[in-house]
Structure 1
């Protein structure tokens, strides 16, 4: 249970040694669907692995009273990891999940020993009514989204993303998008720069240089382009993702 009302975060667990590895999905996703193949890759097996669904998503509860801010998501995830005995975990986190993971590491540092961020949101964005992702969802008022805006988003994002997005509570989807676009204070980028744990940022090679990469590198963040993939790196090129993630988690110079 991660809220005072008794709401539960759930996960799929793969057995192995501690410290745990925790996989965290993005907006409108679910960790088992996005990470099962790569979490079972020979380069990444052998460690206890939790494929966690954030509150409002996948197999976790979908409370309508929860505000779904990045901080609230991070605190709820902290409750879940504490209950699971997963302190000092290595977090592998995609997109919005990466934003949540950065906030978690800043607010609950004893829970996180390493971060692997997968094309994560680091900066606030501007809502855009024509977009299909978080900026498009955030362009609606909540009442508009619940009344039918979600159907327009469904049609824009297409069947692949909708196959997991449809499992997300509609209030959870809208509020998570609004808060993701708004970002954290300090921003996720500023929090990431200030962390002292090993940090790696994976991005699609085709997207070109990551904005602000020089400052990230100077602060000790490894910025790693991954070839032949789009935003969903672990799905588009699972072999390259597994190699890059395994390297980030086993670098003997990053302790």
Structure 2
């Protein structure tokens, strides 16, 4: 695992797996970590020939978890832009899942001239958040830190959502809450509007168990390539990593 030092000595940690083909940066969702979610995806479906950058966002996984960072989607994207500049990458594929999809769109907007393709899986495109971000943001930040985090962690374990519980247990409660608030607040223009405006190749991925979805036809109408991972729901990187990797590879070609 490699390290990149941001301002105030905050350390971003990531895997940088070698490959001769165009780099792919993997950006994970709320309460997750790319170091946990994507090693199996990144070694399947022909992706092993690509340079693969698996980033743990600040506040998650093995990266630092500073209390003073605001954990907004926009500022996650800003330090990822710094990382790409540091790595001297001028041609990139961006993959983002769920909350990581919003971060991916914000990042792509910052580095439009460098993006060959942006691939999203069940991403946040609009304000309002999703199931877990709404649940988390219903707490005040102080209450979430005091007891809400423990409650949601225990609920996840009890319901059998142990993979997310593992990622959540290695995430900062402060980060999780502020991430959720940022997702619900959204931005103007929206992540959806920015996504539609990007000139890069665009693919949006659903898990088959997440369908039907009312947004499917809307995305198709805006010339988004919509693909489906079989035998998977929202957590497709865990449920069918080979299928997800295959679609990512097809979306780059």
TM-score by length of 2: 0.91
Counterpart in 2 of 1:177?
A: 180
2-side partners of 1:126 and 1:206: how far apart? 20
2-side partners of 1:2 and 1:98: how far apart? 24
SS at match of 1:65: coil
In structure 2, the CA distance between the partners of 1:50 and 1:196, relative to structure 1 (3 Å rule), is: same
2-side partners of 1:126 and 1:78: how far apart? 24
Aligned partners of 2:94 and 2:108 also within 8 Å: no
Residues 209-224 of structure 1: matches in 2 within 5 Å?
209-224=212-227
Counterpart in 1 of 2:148?
A: 149
Residues 61-80 of structure 1: per-residue CA shift (max 9 Å, x gap)? 11111111110111011111
Residues 195-216 of structure 1: per-residue CA shift (max 9 Å, x gap)? 1110100011232243333342
Counterpart in 1 of 2:88?
A: 85
Specify which of 32, 35, 38 is matched with residue 32 of structure 1: 35
Question: Any unmatched runs of 5+ in structure 2?
Answer: none
2-side partners of 1:2 and 1:136: how far apart? 32
Aligned partners of 2:47 and 2:249 also within 8 Å: yes
1-side partners of 2:156 and 2:116: how far apart? 34
Aligned partners of 2:24 and 2:50 also within 8 Å: yes
Counterpart in 1 of 2:25?
A: 22
Specify which of 41, 45, 50 is matched with residue 44 of structure 2: 41
Aligned partners of 1:21 and 1:49 also within 8 Å: yes
SS at match of 1:203: strand
Q: Root-mean-square deviation (CA), in Å? A: 1.7
Residues 1-255 of structure 1: matches in 2 within 5 Å?
1=4, 3-125=6-128, 133-158=132-157, 159-250=162-253
Which consecutive aligned stretches of 4+ in structure 1 deviate over 6 angstroms post-superposition?
none
Residues 1-26 of structure 1: per-residue CA shift (max 9 Å, x gap)? 56431212110111112531111111
